[in-house]
Amino acid sequence: MNFIVINEPFQCLNCGAKVPTQKGSCRNHCQVCLYSRHVDAEFPGDRASQCEGLMAPTGLTQSGKKGWILLHQCIKCGRTIRNKLADDDNMDLAIALSRNPLP
Ligand SMILES: [Zn+2]
Ligand SMILES: [Zn+2]
């Protein structure tokens, strides 16, 4: 099994949008619908998971230094992972998520 290249454009599995790379960050979620893919096992960017399930955005939380953190839950295995929100992500959707009660 090959490692997945960390920072390259990909096509969203949920909405089909082409997601460009982001400078200085390893983006792993769609900027349009905020869906992600379960490729990280222990921490963002490790690409150690072999699940590869679709991850739904479930909430937004703020973490002092890091700024806004997007919470994703894997539809396949149920694991939750936190991801930093990017500047060009869909802010309307992110704000709607921030009103969700956190799990
Ligand atoms: Zn999408
Ligand atoms: Zn999973």
pLDDT tens by residue, the chain, 103 residues: 455 445 677 889 999 999 887 666 667 799 999 999 898 887 777 888 899 999 999 999 888 887 889 999 999 999 998 888 988 899 999 999 988 765 5
Report the Cα–Cα distance between both ends of the chain, in Å, rounded: 33
Q: How many angstroms separate the Cα of 8 from the Cα of each of 22, 63, 67? A: 9, 26, 23
| Backbone region of residue 24 per phi and psi (left: phi > 0; alpha: psi in -120 to 50; beta: other values) | left
Considering the entire predicted model, what is its pTM? 0.80
Q: Closest-lying ligand to the alpha carbon of 74?
A: 2
Structural tokens at position 88: 């060009």
Centroid of ligand 2 to alpha carbon of 38 (angstroms): 5
